A and B are shown apart, each in its own frame.
Chain A
């Protein structure tokens, strides 16, 4: 009968509509949560059979079935490639899909994809301060990696969403051709010396160094912060946009000293190219960098396997040490990275950053 055709068609159409509706609804944006609550679940409870530092074998087995982990990172490609190689050697069944970009770009991509409703990344690895935003917006899950059990407690921040894996150094440096031995600045205050007038290189966006010093050097006394940076600004610094450019300018001799130099980067220039520069190891800022795991990650178990391996002494931490980076596990880094005093800068410092950004722009960039 002809009348059954329209009816079955209607049923089919309703079914299609229902499928479309659920697809659209499923792509709704994740709602930002004001507080970050740690999530617990069966996947993180260890069984009695695991060795210390190792994940529950059930998770590892599921990860092998998933077969892949998508890693978004700001590690330099020349570092990321050996790290991935080492991981794939330890876990041949899990392939790493690498997306490497500079910190601000990899974050923008990660956030925009989530906003569009598509979570493509399992793990995001970059600077801690930069990760605070994605954690605050509810894009990540907490994870307690067994490998990081004995890490210093300041390396674990944001209720289990972030663990430090490697650190970068913020310090001051000088050009060894232009600054005779014995004349180099010894403290942050030495940079205010009139002999460096017009010869101090300052990177244009180093308000995070200002914040770290405010916290660890002046113990939160903002009047002292203001005083120091007013004097620094009065010393006619050479403002350079970009850390790469700032370091090159110091090496080329555009300035004699540099504020906020990245010590680990400079050390690589000294070691590999014999660049005529050196840096202070007395009182430094330690920028925490680490990995977070996406909520709704496409391969959640592989993500945990990767992050745990990355933090384990014989896994990722060893590879990072071999690459002359500063791994979180104490005692693995090159002895040259021994500091008298460190000021930690991590995701929990992010809320203060806007305040110091404003102060920096007011005093240094004159915005």
Chain B
């Protein structure tokens, strides 16, 4: 074995990883792509370009694309600004009380997208929002002049929902940064802002680019906000078309595939651009051979400003929707009439544990979330390492294979997996109807997020550390285990947490693949939602938020004892 040249072994590794990725993502991707060229969405029935003609031959598609670009750019910018700003304040400054905000910052992504959107509608709608009603009552108007049913409203709801993702990824990136670079800048006479602009941000380019890429695709594929806010606002977006094509009188997989080709193209371009931007890896290495303790920067009087910003964020962006959810949870139905509180009751809470499927759903979701997060982190860390740390030919393709599943709509993924695992060839893998098919679905869906998180993280690690390890005689595996992994811990943990949270929320594929025994929480919540039981859904959301905040705060306390001290 020692005699084999390194390149050959490397190619085998790439091929092995490619095989795993293809096994997972090949069928759904093929179904989407081939289906787009098939009569009735099936290539076996014949080849046709009619779906592409229908998708791209009408002017309306381009209007939708235009709307979507504005929407995606807006939400991306809002999420990036908010998330990065918060991450910087929490991780790199001496702002008082900043530690508490880690848990608070995660709140907007715990609840399902629908709940988040409805909470903002019940706040900012000119007619039925609590704030809207308050404004119109105070000023004697029939309805408030502002409304959430607008492009800014859509950007606000979605951008806030996505900002915790940015926050998580950027805190990991900031934690792994040697502060001596910034300190040299400050000591040379640059102010805080100049340091931020000239030193910090340029070093964060991989993390920002990674996150930006996810934001772009998420913005393009986002669907709850366009449905609940965009439709009444008469702002149709591109992804609404994909949704409609799957939910019309008959499901049109061919059209959905043709429309998804745009998302495909955007993702591919994004990956190529990302790989270009991060090509000179050494420029971004912030974890070097010099020992460092991530020290915070003293920003002087600015820390009161930043503390104020954190408070504002907690109160307005997290607190207000939370309060609306509490309000809705205490009532049988929603109207913006605070007087209804007189008949408030805890009925919605009392029955929560008795909902069909809720107890089993919680258990299944926690289990699935944990397994999926672990598998995704392990797989994508490995793939990211191969891509960024080796020169094996063909590795760029792995990035594409692992990222493209982000373009497959959840419903299409569900259908593809049913077809794949019920087909005669796959009868030896009898996972249909069990939790394992959900594991596979979630891994496929969330691999792209793991990829972006881990590839940015890998770039921060300077080669010299691993080279030192192998120069001292350690095998590849020993270096990986004792040098690479510990240094990457903040990023791996961040990626794990994020994948855990979003897989507990997965709905699109879950609705098809679950049954009474394998029911998951998101499906249970959605079922109650479809019944119109907003009060119950709000009650459960409140309970989820409170639980998460408490759990995260405890975990923070505990891990602070084992982590790097300041």
Interface string of B490-533 (1 = CB under 8 A from A): 00000000000000000000011001100000000001011110
- Whether A105 is near chain B, meaning CB under 8 Å from some CB there, is yes
Binds A, one of B17-25, B271-279, B304-312, B329-337: B329-337
Given A241-B231, A252-B128, A353-B249, the answer on whether A269 and B422 have CB atoms closer than 8 Å is no
Q: Which of B249, B418, B516 contacts A357 (CB 8 A)?
A: B249
- Complex Cα gap A27–B422 (Å): 10
Residues of A within 8 A of B530 (CB): 102, 244
- Do the beta carbons of B418 and A77 come within 8 Å of each other? no
- Whether A86 is near chain B, meaning CB under 8 Å from some CB there, is no
- Do the beta carbons of A77 and B335 come within 8 Å of each other? no
- Whether A253 is near chain B, meaning CB under 8 Å from some CB there, is yes
State how many residues of chain B have any CB contact under 8 Å with chain A. Answer: 40
- Do the beta carbons of B515 and A99 come within 8 Å of each other? yes
Q: Which residue of A lies closest to B417 (CB)?
A: A112
- Whether A115 is near chain B, meaning CB under 8 Å from some CB there, is yes
- Complex Cα gap A78–B358 (Å): 13
- A352: shortest Cβ distance to chain B, in Å? 10
- Do the beta carbons of B516 and A100 come within 8 Å of each other? yes
- Complex Cα gap A241–B149 (Å): 13
- Do the beta carbons of A78 and B356 come within 8 Å of each other? yes
- B294: shortest Cβ distance to chain A, in Å? 46
Given A100-B516, A353-B249, the answer on whether A113 and B231 have CB atoms closer than 8 Å is no
- Do the beta carbons of A269 and B532 come within 8 Å of each other? yes
Q: Which residues of chain B in 249-286 are interfacial with respect to chain A, using CB atoms and an 8 Å cutoff? A: 249-251
Q: Which residues of chain B in 392-421 are interfacial with respect to chain A, using CB atoms and an 8 Å cutoff? A: 411, 414-415, 418-419
- Do the beta carbons of B249 and A204 come within 8 Å of each other? no
Size category of the binding interface on chain A: 35 or more
Q: Which residues of chain B in 179-201 are interfacial with respect to chain A, using CB atoms and an 8 Å cutoff? A: none
- Complex Cα gap A278–B190 (Å): 68
Residues of B within 8 A of A113 (CB): 418, 422
Q: Which of B251, B511, B534 contacts A248 (CB 8 A)?
A: B534
Residues of A within 8 A of B228 (CB): 241-242, 245
Residues of B within 8 A of A247 (CB): 532
- Whether A109 is near chain B, meaning CB under 8 Å from some CB there, is yes
Q: Which residue of B lies closest to A272 (CB)?
A: B332
- Complex Cα gap A104–B231 (Å): 20
Residues of B within 8 A of A76 (CB): 527, 531
- Whether A363 is near chain B, meaning CB under 8 Å from some CB there, is no
Q: Which residue of A lies closest to B227 (CB)?
A: A241
- Do the beta carbons of A116 and B418 come within 8 Å of each other? yes
Residues of A within 8 A of B332 (CB): 272-275
In this complex, the member of A99, A108, A350 whose beta carbon has the largest number of chain B beta carbons within 10 angstroms is A108
Q: Which residue of B lies closest to A242 (CB)?
A: B227
- Do the beta carbons of B232 and A117 come within 8 Å of each other? no
Residues of B within 8 A of A242 (CB): 227-228
Q: Which of B128, B231, B356 contacts A239 (CB 8 A)?
A: B231
- Do the beta carbons of B512 and A116 come within 8 Å of each other? no
Q: Which residue of B lies closest to A112 (CB)?
A: B418
Residues of B within 8 A of A101 (CB): 511-512
Q: Which residue of B lies closest to A175 (CB)?
A: B335
Residues of B within 8 A of A207 (CB): 249
Q: Which of B336, B424, B511, B534 contacts A105 (CB 8 A)?
A: B511
- B122: shortest Cβ distance to chain A, in Å? 8
User: How many A-B Cβ pairs are below 8 Å?
Assistant: 106
Interface string of A33-67 (1 = CB under 8 A from B): 00000000000000000000000000000000000
- Whether B234 is near chain A, meaning CB under 8 Å from some CB there, is yes
Q: Which of B357, B414, B511, B515 contacts A102 (CB 8 A)?
A: B511
- Whether B423 is near chain A, meaning CB under 8 Å from some CB there, is yes
Residues of A within 8 A of B415 (CB): 108, 112
Residues of B within 8 A of A253 (CB): 127-128, 335-336
- Do the beta carbons of A99 and B422 come within 8 Å of each other? no
- Do the beta carbons of B511 and A99 come within 8 Å of each other? no
Residues of A within 8 A of B460 (CB): none
- Do the beta carbons of B532 and A133 come within 8 Å of each other? no
Residues of B within 8 A of A238 (CB): 232
Residues of A within 8 A of B232 (CB): 238-240
Q: Which residue of B lies closest to A350 (CB)?
A: B249
- Do the beta carbons of B516 and A99 come within 8 Å of each other? yes
Given A109-B418, A269-B333, the answer on whether A254 and B532 have CB atoms closer than 8 Å is no
Residues of A within 8 A of B125 (CB): 254
- B197: shortest Cβ distance to chain A, in Å? 43
Given A252-B334, A252-B335, the answer on whether A118 and B128 have CB atoms closer than 8 Å is no
- A119: shortest Cβ distance to chain B, in Å? 10
Residues of B within 8 A of A240 (CB): 231-232
Residues of A within 8 A of B60 (CB): 367
- Do the beta carbons of B247 and A104 come within 8 Å of each other? yes
Residues of A within 8 A of B46 (CB): none
Q: Which of B127, B250, B336, B527 contacts A133 (CB 8 A)?
A: B250
- Whether A251 is near chain B, meaning CB under 8 Å from some CB there, is yes
- Complex Cα gap A133–B357 (Å): 30
Q: Which of A98, A248, A350, A353 contacts B334 (CB 8 A)?
A: A248
Q: Which of A98, A100, A116, A241 contacts B419 (CB 8 A)?
A: A116
Q: Which residues of chain B in 211-263 are interfacial with respect to chain A, using CB atoms and an 8 Å cutoff? A: 227-228, 231-232, 234, 247-251
Residues of B within 8 A of A244 (CB): 529-532
- B67: shortest Cβ distance to chain A, in Å? 14
- Whether A338 is near chain B, meaning CB under 8 Å from some CB there, is no
- Complex Cα gap A244–B536 (Å): 14
- Do the beta carbons of A275 and B251 come within 8 Å of each other? no
- Do the beta carbons of A109 and B512 come within 8 Å of each other? yes
Q: Which residue of A lies closest to B513 (CB)?
A: A109
- Whether A24 is near chain B, meaning CB under 8 Å from some CB there, is yes
Interface string of A168-207 (1 = CB under 8 A from B): 0000000001000000000000000000000000001101
- Whether A23 is near chain B, meaning CB under 8 Å from some CB there, is yes
Q: Which residues of chain B in 326-349 are interfacial with respect to chain A, using CB atoms and an 8 Å cutoff? A: 332-336
Residues of A within 8 A of B335 (CB): 177, 251-253, 276
Residues of B within 8 A of A109 (CB): 418, 512
- Complex Cα gap A236–B232 (Å): 11
Residues of A within 8 A of B127 (CB): 253-254
Q: Which of B231, B334, B516 contacts A251 (CB 8 A)?
A: B334
- Do the beta carbons of B512 and A354 come within 8 Å of each other? no
Residues of A within 8 A of B234 (CB): 239
- Complex Cα gap A358–B234 (Å): 18
- Complex Cα gap A269–B424 (Å): 47
Residues of B within 8 A of A158 (CB): none
- Whether A81 is near chain B, meaning CB under 8 Å from some CB there, is yes
- Complex Cα gap A269–B534 (Å): 12
Interface string of A271-308 (1 = CB under 8 A from B): 01111100000000000000000000000000000000
- A303: shortest Cβ distance to chain B, in Å? 18
- Complex Cα gap A207–B248 (Å): 10
Q: Which residue of B lies closest to A114 (CB)?
A: B422
- Do the beta carbons of A116 and B250 come within 8 Å of each other? no
- Complex Cα gap A269–B527 (Å): 16
- Complex Cα gap A201–B237 (Å): 21
- Complex Cα gap A339–B302 (Å): 70
Q: Which residue of B lies closest to A27 (CB)?
A: B424
Q: Which residue of A lies closest to B514 (CB)?
A: A101
Report 5 cross-chain contacts, Cβ distance below 8 Å, ordered by A residue: A102-B511, A117-B423, A239-B232, A273-B333, A275-B332
Known A99-B515, A251-B333, A367-B60; 11 more pairs at CB < 8 Å: A23-B424, A27-B423, A112-B418, A205-B248, A239-B232, A240-B232, A241-B231, A252-B122, A269-B532, A272-B332, A273-B332
Can you list the 10 inter-chain pairs with the closest CB atoms, starting with the nearest?
A116-B422, A273-B332, A252-B128, A77-B356, A241-B231, A112-B418, A118-B422, A241-B227, A254-B128, A27-B424
A interface vs B, CB < 8 Å?
Answer: 23-24, 27, 76-78, 81, 98-102, 104-105, 108-109, 112-113, 115-118, 133, 177, 204-205, 207, 238-242, 244-245, 247-249, 251-254, 265, 269, 272-276, 350, 353-354, 357, 367
